[in-house]
Amino acid sequence: MKTSEIRQRWLDYFGERGHTVVPSASLVSEDPTVMFTIAGMVPFIPYLTGLIPAPYPRATSVQKCIRTNDIEEVGKTPRHGTFFQMTGNFSFGDYFKEGAIGYAWELLTSAESSGGYGFDEKDLWVTVYKDDDEAIALWKRIAGLPDERIQRLDKDTNYWSTGHPGPAGPSSEIFFDRGPAYGADGGPATDDDRYVEIWNLVFMQYAIENVTSKTNFDIVGELPSKNIDTGLGLERVAFLKQGVENMYEIDQVRPVLDRASELSGRRYGAVHDDDVRMRVIADHVRSSLMLMSDGVTPSNEGRGYILRRLLRRSVRAMRLLGVDGPSFPELFTVSRDAMSASYPEVSQNFDRISQAAYGEEDTFLHTLESGTSILDLAVDSSKKAGKDVLAGDTAFLLHDTYGFPIDLTLEIADEAGLTVDRDAFDSLMSQQKQRAKADAKSKKSHVADLSVYSAFRAHGETQFLGYTEMTAESRVLGLIVDGVSVTSASQGQTAEVILAETTLYAESGGQDADKGTIVGNGYELEVLDVQKPVKGLISHTVKVKRGVVSVDAGATTVVDAGYRRGARQAHSGTHVIHAALRQILGPNAHQSGSYNKAGYLRLDFSWNQALSRETLTEIEEISNNAIRDNLEVVTRELPLDEAKSLGAMALFGEKYGDVVRVVDIGGPWSRELCAGTHVSTSAEIGMINLVNESSVGSTNRRVESLVGLEAFDDLTAERAIVRELTSSLKTPREQLPSRISDLVTSLKQAEKKIKEYESRAQAQRVPELLASAQTVGSIRVVAEALNDVATADDVRTLVTTTRDRLGSEPSVVALAANVKGRPVIIVATNQAARSAGVHAGQIIRTAAGVLGGGGGGKDDIAQGGGQDVTAIPAALASVVDAVKA
């Protein structure tokens, strides 16, 4: 049974039993504290917790999920995967335990010919929470399970909660017994790979408080409305139904594994380590494909970093299999073909996906090449020093700065007869992870408890009237101060205001929030921000400028007309530039992010090379021609499928409902799904002035533009500069470029001559320095302070020149100077001094310490610095003392 068929059987079964079939949400999580959708129930959490009233009594879905917390275990166990699909059926105050258990047992054990999964009842076990006698009785009655195949377990495995006060409840899990060949008898309680968990049923029936851990909390009563949340692991059922050993061998994953085997010439099943690498490749390529299909692009932070890590781990694994060249064109194509039956969008978006993936692989292959060069130098240096261990900080530098995998460092070091100081490397990695966790915790602590909004959301959605109105009458539904619901807020306080209706636009879709005011009888509020903390609810952050605002008070929202005009210009300008980009570069130049506010916009798009000045000029010209042509801007609300059939572009990572807003500029020339505010005709945009183009990753570029009056003001400022230059240089405007070019050439020639004069002047100081040499033991030492030295490079030149002029007898040169207010000291030794045991790197640490700083370098030359320029004489004296020692 193919994975796509298992998926469709699930949806058909529950759809026929009154469940609303809900499409999979994006892998990009809407929860600001979580990067990805990590479980099938995540999109339904607002309904399960009562934050938002459920729009249907029962639902079903097959949700795409990503988890990377166990990434190091991928390939090593039969069930660890980064991308997986979780099927779920949900009840919001409708059926409860009996219905959930009945549905699960029927679907699992019904014959394949009647739409079921055809599992043999004798192979199925269940676990329940130890005190849930009700569930045990139901399993016996509905499924006829004997006592020995029902196991009672504790809260750590069979009790669900969010980890916070609120809804919770016992769970029951269904396991498949793979047979004695896979492990010992004893059922799921043995925690053995023999028993594979395939279905988890959560009975959300209690309210809990005083939560201190996953297993320590107080049950304070039953919920007024009990919910069901169940989930079946699609990949786990697939490998059981397909008769293979693990999830990496199912029909959606195995083709990539097989292609990796073909490319490498390594047979799957022959060598354990090679098998793990092939499974890693198969998993990571599929996960990357699905992430990029949902709009994630490789970068150095957040979701993009996780994607980059998956891609680079794949490249690394291929290299360890002996494949040094590009492999993604083969692997991603195979993964696309395997996933398209369930997710047609991966084929529809494959040009964009493949461009990003291939560009990332090419970049990382170059990184590996440069990293290998750096590692080779480090290995050579270690061996020359007689060491058989490569320093852990070197391995960490390669990993952290260059993205060079530790596995490759270990491999190359081993080939050279060295080991790597893993303890030091692991310690540095641990420190980095702790910093990252602390940063994540800090960010998370600033996210408000969304439960405060549930009572307000229960009144319904906030009506946004701002598309057609600039002011609107409403009433105050609620006030929040410091995350707590209050009845009033007075002058000077900052608060959140929840209204029944508003004309103020909440930040979304790349458009910044409106500016404006909210006024009522006896009060005035300055609007600082407008957000959507939960779906369907708009919250206004305000400063109370005058009076007291109270719940149930009348309120009038007033949009700042000038700011809104600028925001409309910028948002419509974003659409125009996007259309112009695609006209010039083609359909692969797809928007991947945007931000616009009054007077300014930026647009990120998928592309892997810088745009030439000529291309930017052409894009700007097309955009301004569209403005000049006064194209009509039309907005329509249409069913999502109809909008897409008309060619309206959906932006990756954006969430869309069943009915969407389509914005046309010039008909199909620019047709996008967009909930932002827009001008009526393109002429109202005024002007587009592209001011910058830059990279935001190996496969993404960014253009920035000023819009409207701000664009005109910037051009006016440039005109003023041109006028000043023509006046100062006494040159006509059209001759300015050549005149400035001539001046720059002359300046460079002058700087070169000055440098030559300075070099001669420095060289004339060498005899004086040689004359200052003193003999310390058997070593000649020059330790002098320099005056009138501009840079550390000048000091270094004098140090090396003086050392070379001292000849072959053991010599040390230490020169120090005040460079831009800070002390700099450089020490150099010749070969004879080093043979006598005198090393520059050792000396510099002592001297720099005297200066109140630090330093480092090699045995032949080292540099240090500090804070105290008055300590230069003492630092030089410490050099002499170090040579004496």
Q: For residues 555 and 638, give the distance between their C-alpha atoms in angstroms, rounded to a whole number.
A: 32
Give bridge partners of residue 827 from the DSSP assignment.
814, 862
State which residues form the domain around 772.
765-884
Q: Are 575 and 663 in contact (CB under 8 A)?
A: yes
Please say which residue of 244, 275, 310 terminates a domain.
244
**Which residue from 105, 83, 115, 113 is spatially nearest to 9, judged by alpha carbons?**
115
Residues in the chain: 885
510 and 432 assigned to the same domain: no
463 located within any domain: yes
Give bridge partners of residue 109 from the DSSP assignment.
none
626 and 579 assigned to the same domain: yes
**Which residue from 106, 19, 7 is spatially nearest to 62, judged by alpha carbons?**
7
Per-residue confidence (pLDDT) for residue 212, from 0 to 100? 87
741 located within any domain: no
Please say which residue of 181, 211, 244 terminates a domain.
244
Q: For residues 151 and 758, give the distance between their C-alpha atoms in angstroms, rounded to a whole number.
A: 86
Six token digits for residue 127: 């676990």
Q: For residues 252 and 338, give the distance between their C-alpha atoms in angstroms, rounded to a whole number.
A: 5
Query: In terms of C-beta density within 10 A (0-12 exposed, 13-18 middle, 19 or more buried), how is residue 725 classed?
Result: middle
In this structure, what DSSP letter does residue 374 have? H
pLDDT, tens digit, 9 for 90 and up, residues 813-832: 999 999 888 999 999 999 99
Beta strand segments in 551-668, E: 554-559, 591-597, 600-606, 633-639, 659-665
Q: What's the CATH number where 542 sits?
A: 2.40.30.130
469 located within any domain: yes
CA angle 444, 447, 450 (to 5 degrees): 130
CA angle 176, 271, 197 (to 5 degrees): 15
752 located within any domain: no
424 and 458 assigned to the same domain: no
Per-residue confidence (pLDDT) for residue 377, from 0 to 100? 80
3-state SS, 742-762, equals HHHHHHHHHHHHHHHHHHHHH
Per-residue confidence (pLDDT) for residue 442, from 0 to 100? 46
Q: Are 48 and 160 in contact (CB under 8 A)?
A: no
296 and 316 assigned to the same domain: yes
Backbone angles phi, psi at 323, to 5 degrees: -100, 110
660 and 680 assigned to the same domain: yes
212 and 290 assigned to the same domain: no
Please say which residue of 244, 265, 283 terminates a domain.
244
637 located within any domain: yes
Q: For residues 47 and 90, give the distance between their C-alpha atoms in angstroms, rounded to a whole number.
A: 10
Is 578 annotated in a binding site? The answer is no
Q: What's the CATH number where 845 sits?
A: 3.10.310.40
- pLDDT per 10-residue tile (average), the chain, 885 residues: 95 96 89 80 86 92 89 77 93 95 96 95 96 95 94 92 86 95 90 89 92 88 91 93 93 96 94 93 96 87 86 90 93 96 92 89 82 78 83 81 73 80 86 64 46 82 94 94 92 95 94 96 96 91 95 96 96 96 90 92 90 94 96 93 86 72 94 94 95 85 94 91 90 89 89 76 82 90 85 88 90 91 92 91 90 87 90 92 86
Is 65 annotated in a binding site? The answer is no
Counting the structural domains of the chain, the total is 5
730 located within any domain: no
Per-residue confidence (pLDDT) for residue 653, from 0 to 100? 56
522 and 591 assigned to the same domain: no
Six token digits for residue 714: 């910037």
434 and 288 assigned to the same domain: yes
30 and 131 assigned to the same domain: yes
Query: In terms of C-beta density within 10 A (0-12 exposed, 13-18 middle, 19 or more buried), how is residue 770 classed?
Result: middle
736 located within any domain: no
**Count of other CB atoms within 10 angstroms of residue 842:** 14
Per-residue confidence (pLDDT) for residue 460, from 0 to 100? 85
301 and 415 assigned to the same domain: yes
Q: For residues 489 and 526, give the distance between their C-alpha atoms in angstroms, rounded to a whole number.
A: 13
Q: What's the CATH number where 52 sits?
A: 3.30.930.10
Q: Are 642 and 625 in contact (CB under 8 A)?
A: no
Q: What's the CATH number where 615 sits?
A: 3.30.980.10
Torsion 293-297-302-305 (CA) sign: positive
With residues binned 3-state (H G I as helix, E B as strand, rest as coil), the percentages for the chain, rounded to 5, are 45, 25, 30
Q: For residues 705 and 594, give the distance between their C-alpha atoms in angstroms, rounded to a whole number.
A: 11
343 and 387 assigned to the same domain: yes
Per-residue confidence (pLDDT) for residue 447, from 0 to 100? 38
438 located within any domain: yes
214 and 129 assigned to the same domain: yes
Per-residue confidence (pLDDT) for residue 448, from 0 to 100? 43
